[in-house]
Amino acid sequence: MKETSRMEPLRIAGLGEILWDIFPDGPRFGGAPSNFSCSTAELALDAAKVFIASAVGNDPLGNNALTELQTHRVNTVCVQTNDRDTGQVHVKLDQGGSAHYQFAEDSAWDYLQWDESLAQLAGQCNAVCFGTLGQRHSISAKTILRFVDSVSNDALRVLDVNLRYPYVSNTVIENSLSRANVLKLNNEELPRVASLIGATGSELQMMEALANHFRLHTIALTRGPAGAVILSGDELSDLPGVSVDVVDTVGAGDAFTAAMTLGLLRGNSLEKINMGAIAAAAWACVNSGGTMAFPEHIRQKVLGGH
């Protein structure tokens, strides 16, 4: 990926759901695009202007969501308000801290509408990150795909497939993959996505098949405690995870994606990108919930030179 000029801040957008994770001990702000946007903004600081395009309800959770985003340096000019409830998901944690989700239906983020503010943002983006869950409703799906289609040809179009049953559609996955040039998925999602093109074999073989079929610039596979693999053309980085005392895994994958996106935009080496992304994900695991600040040593791993 061509290195982006550092004379002006990068412009990066998250697209999709804004919601509150309802844990047994109370609500915490979340949603993969929200987590991605907050992590990107916290990691980049003044090096990027980070936006989110989504919708909230005209309710206390919606107002609180806007406050949370702004607290984490995310620009909310493209967050719409409608008459649906702000999104919620009930989260249960297993003994290892892994999260399981039950999503509320018919939420505000399902009704994200195309408008002039989205068109302007899309035309200015150096990178956009979008997922499949945010496209569970036809209205939001149409808007998200139009946004991705509207970014410049040299922008990063990062797909985090984020499969959440029962909201899994082959059509949504394929429509998204056909527009992406960067793919991030985990070791449970890889076989499911690879099966769409009949790819089997080792993890690397499935990654290579997906990269070739959909002409992906970069594909990243996260493996939890086992680390991550990033494939970019003929380059490969396969690194182990960082041993930490896990509080919960909510937002870890989104922190990885945020760090990877920044590393790609800055033209860092693949090994440095992977090291920084794994470090960011590990830090997310020792913090409760999906949004957090990052210490300077993590930022340096993510943003540091080549």
Give the C-alpha separation, 4 to 222, whole Å: 25
241: phi > 0 → left, psi -120 to 50 → alpha, else beta; which? beta
Closest CA to 162 of 37, 36, 57: 36
Residue 305: its pLDDT value, please?
57
Say if residue 235 is exposed, middle or buried (CB neighbours under 10 Å; 0-12, 13-18, 19+): exposed
Contact 117, 77 (CB under 8 A): yes
Tally of domains in the chain: 1
Residue 101: its pLDDT value, please?
77
Backbone angles phi, psi at 136, to 5 degrees: -70, -25
Residue 247: its pLDDT value, please?
82
Query: Count of alpha carbons within 13 Å of 179, Cβ hemisphere only?
Result: 28
> What are the mean pLDDT values of the chain's consecutive 10-residue runs (306 residues total)?
62 97 83 96 96 97 97 97 95 75 92 98 98 97 98 97 91 97 97 97 98 98 95 97 85 95 97 97 87 93 78
How wide is the angle at C-alpha 26 spanned by C-alphas 25 and 28, nearest 5°?
120
Q: Record the tokens describing residue 225, joined without a space.
A: 């405690």
- Domain extent for 94: 10-294
Is the residue at 306 inside a domain?
no
Q: Record the tokens describing residue 100, joined without a space.
A: 């399981």
Is the residue at 1 inside a domain?
no
Domain of 65, CATH number, reads 3.40.1190.20
Is the residue at 115 inside a domain?
yes
Percent of residues, the chain, with pLDDT higher than 70: 96
Q: How far is CA 294 from CA 49, 172, 279, in A?
A: 17, 33, 10
Closest CA to 254 of 231, 283, 230: 283
Backbone angles phi, psi at 181, to 5 degrees: -120, -5
Is the residue at 300 inside a domain?
no
How wide is the angle at C-alpha 225 spanned by C-alphas 219 and 230, nearest 5°?
15
Contact 283, 133 (CB under 8 A): no
Residue 306: its pLDDT value, please?
47
Contact 280, 230 (CB under 8 A): no
Is the residue at 264 inside a domain?
yes
Give the C-alpha separation, 167 to 243, whole Å: 32
Is the residue at 283 inside a domain?
yes
Is the residue at 285 inside a domain?
yes
